[in-house]
Amino acid sequence: MNRADRGMRGISPMQTRVDLQMLQDAWRTTPHTILGQALSLMALLWLIRGWPLPAWQWVLPTLGLLGVWGVVIAMTRHFRRFGIPASGYQRWRRSLLGWHLSQGTLWGLFAVALLGVADNDWQLALVAASLVYAYTVMLVSVHDWGVAVAGSTPLLTLAGVRLLVDGQPSSSFLALVMGVSMVTSLAVTRQISRRLREGTLLRNENADLVLQLREEVNNVTREKARAEIADRQKGEFFASASHDLRQPLHVLMLLSSALRPHVPAAEGHGLLDRMQTALGSLSTMFERMFDVARIDAQRIDYRAQACALSALWRRLDSEFAVVCAHQGLQWQLDPTEAWVQADPHVLERILRNLLNNAVRYTERGTVRLRARARGPWIVCQVWDTGTGIAREHRHRIFEDYFQAHNDGRRSSEGLGLGLAVVRRLSLLGPTPVSLRSRPGQGSCFSVRLPRLVPAAVPPQQAETRAARRPSTRAGKPAAPAASPLAPPGVILLIEDDPDVREGTAMLLHQHGWRTAAGSTPDGAIAALVALQAEGRMPEGSMPSAVVSDHRLGLSINGLQAIAQLRYEFGEALPAFLLTGEATPGLAGAARAAQVHLLHKPLQADRLLRLLAEATGAPERPDAA
């Protein structure tokens, strides 16, 4: 009732929406009761046709009810066409209250007229009918207590007063029953109406929360999609940038090595050494940065498989024996025949980064690599006798760009991404990395891997296992026993970048290799034919190896070019694939094709050493 007076002002938007919704529900459902009331009116007029009742006492209420129903039907048709706007809330609610108040009053006048001429039996029936009508109104409009009061109170009040006027005990008792029933039903209706309204408010609040949550989810989904697109674009940018930035750096490293024979030793070799050191540091920085970018862009897949550590140990031994000798460190490798469940490529990168880190921070002493069995695990350990790591730095040592011993940010010490790459790589699979260290005495990094037991040990391996002993090298590694090896031969070189092609050919020429270079496999074959025609290569002899770039700017890539050349010169032709990209799956494809995968920029001495190992040719440190 009060809500009708103040309209929709002074309440919250949620309450406004609920009140408007309840009003619309009332106009949608309550008019359906008119048909039942009309049938009841017809039955009542038929029953009282013989009663001694003045005509005006039933004609006026009947006409009043018909008039009210006509107005309500017209308003209901308007409501169904146009609905109820928020601005019309007050008018429509007052109309609803006026309809029920008028209807209840007219039925009350009917009851007063009939109770005045009815006997005791009919009075009891009329009281029961009045109560049924009042309860029906309350039930239909239970969601709106004001409508329930307006529809039921006039009828029960007028009928109760008429019974009290009679002065008879039975009439007074019926009046008392009607009064108590009215108060009780209105109180119950009040409680139900309040709870229904609270439930409606709660339901609408929940609906708003659901809509807000859905909007937030949609926003998060959109932002996630944008982030994924940006991440993919970042990955594509780094893939392109890695190739484009490695190319000139690769050329600089090749040309600096090729420049050495043309520079007087006294004046220029020291500068060349510094330049190559700077280029090596720059190469390491690029490699770490692109490793981080590839891992963060999820462009490295972890494919666990059974792998023998002995093969990995041989590769690391051949590389770090030379590195430690150059640094004046002792290199110690404990041979192992253990098998583990791991991604061999990821594991090799983890150990290589740990070994590089050990060499960098060890000024004198030993760098050691070993594997130890610990129950169902194999623990690969990298030991060093370097500076060690203070306790306060150990929890940060795997963070990006953190360097405990490089406060001055010297470029020769890198960017502090080596151990950050190790952390990211270890999270790709079940390869946790742990650290033990004593300042001033050294550190030990451990990588734990699931242990595998081979079904059988090959006979050759079983015979030679007992003869294996830890490999310890200090200073320059001992040279292999001399053997009557053939002199360097012809290298097939496939590179679409003219600068890289010319720089690589110049370097190989200075170290005794002849090159048949071209931007395509057909171009390399044509250059080989030209060498034979010039008499610089015996006719009918075969090339010693093929070195190819991966991205050739053609319809084929480097692996396909190598396959084409192997078709011409035999499947046993040693092959090296150079790449400056982070192509997913390339390492596995190269291993399957028995091709050595090398990443740009590449140290010239490493390329020469790998060529010598693959072809059996002697290394020539310098060419005059």
DSSP string for residues in 157-177: HHHHHHHHHH--HHHHHHHHH
Compute and round to an integer the Cα radius of gyration of the chain: 48
- Supply the pLDDT for residue 19: 80
Stretch 365-385: mean pLDDT, rounded? 92
Stretch 29-43: mean pLDDT, rounded? 87
- Asked whether the predicted pLDDT for residue 617 surpasses 90, the reply is no
Both structure tokens of 163:
């019974």
Identify which of 189, 184, 178, 187 has the alpha carbon closest to the alpha carbon of residue 137. 189
Stretch 586-594: mean pLDDT, rounded? 84
**Residue 574 CB contacts under 8 Å (≥ 6 apart), including other chains:** 544, 545, 546, 596, 611, 614, 615
Stretch 569-573: mean pLDDT, rounded? 87
- Asked whether the predicted pLDDT for residue 464 surpasses 50, the reply is no
Identify which of 80, 126, 86 has the alpha carbon closest to the alpha carbon of residue 107. 126
Instruction: Considering only residues 281 and 508, tell me which one the structure prediction assigns the higher pLDDT.
Output: 508
pLDDT band of residue 589 (cuts 50, 70, 90) is confident
Q: Tell me the backbone φ, ψ of residue 494, rounded to 5 degrees.
A: -120, 115
Fold agreement between 305-474 and 485-615: no
**Residue 259 CB contacts under 8 Å (≥ 6 apart), including other chains:** 272
- Cut 0.75: pTM above it: no
Identify which of 13, 126, 28 has the alpha carbon closest to the alpha carbon of residue 75. 28
Q: How far apart are CA 526 and CA 73, in angstroms?
A: 99
- Supply the pLDDT for residue 339: 92
- Over residues 393-446, the pLDDT tens digits come to 777 677 755 565 544 344 444 445 567 778 878 888 878 888 888 888 899 999
Q: How far apart are CA 475 and CA 249, in angstroms?
A: 29
Range ranked top by mean pLDDT from 178-192, 340-354, 364-378, 383-397: 364-378
Task: Give me the CATH code for the 305-474 domain, please.
Answer: 3.30.565.10
- Asked whether the predicted pLDDT for residue 522 surpasses 80, the reply is yes
- Supply the pLDDT for residue 60: 93
3 state SS for 337-352: CCEEEECHHHHHHHHH
- Supply the pLDDT for residue 319: 82
pLDDT band of residue 296 (cuts 50, 70, 90) is low
Residue spans of the domains in the chain: they are 2-166, 305-474, 485-615
- Supply the pLDDT for residue 165: 86
- Of 46-50, 116-120, 266-270, the poorest mean pLDDT is in 266-270
- Asked whether the predicted pLDDT for residue 233 surpasses 50, the reply is yes
Q: Coil, helix or strand for 250? A: helix
pLDDT band of residue 278 (cuts 50, 70, 90) is low
Identify which of 365, 367, 374 has the alpha carbon closest to the alpha carbon of residue 445. 367
Stretch 354-380: mean pLDDT, rounded? 91
Query: N- to C-terminal Cα distance for the chain?
Result: 110
- Over residues 318-329, the pLDDT tens digits come to 888 888 988 899
- Of 92-96, 333-337, 490-494, 620-624, the poorest mean pLDDT is in 620-624
Q: Give me the half-sphere count of Cα atoms (radius 13 Å) on the Cβ side of residue 551.
A: 14
- Asked whether the predicted pLDDT for residue 611 surpasses 80, the reply is yes
**Residue 548 CB contacts under 8 Å (≥ 6 apart), including other chains:** 492, 493, 494, 495, 558, 561, 562, 575, 576, 577, 578
- Supply the pLDDT for residue 400: 55
Average pLDDT over all residues of the chain: 79
What's domain 485-615's architecture? 3-Layer(aba) Sandwich (3.40)
- Supply the pLDDT for residue 352: 86
- Supply the pLDDT for residue 239: 57
- Asked whether the predicted pLDDT for residue 171 surpasses 90, the reply is no
Stretch 358-384: mean pLDDT, rounded? 91
Stretch 563-567: mean pLDDT, rounded? 89
- Supply the pLDDT for residue 495: 87
Instruction: Considering only residues 26 and 472, tell me which one the structure prediction assigns the higher pLDDT.
Output: 26
- Supply the pLDDT for residue 290: 59
Q: Are strands 377-384 and 366-374 parallel, antiparallel or unpaired?
A: antiparallel
Q: How far apart are CA 394 and CA 376, in angstroms?
A: 27
Stretch 497-508: mean pLDDT, rounded? 84
Stretch 591-616: mean pLDDT, rounded? 83
Query: Please, are residues 321 and 331 in contact by the beta-carbon 8 Å criterion?
Result: yes
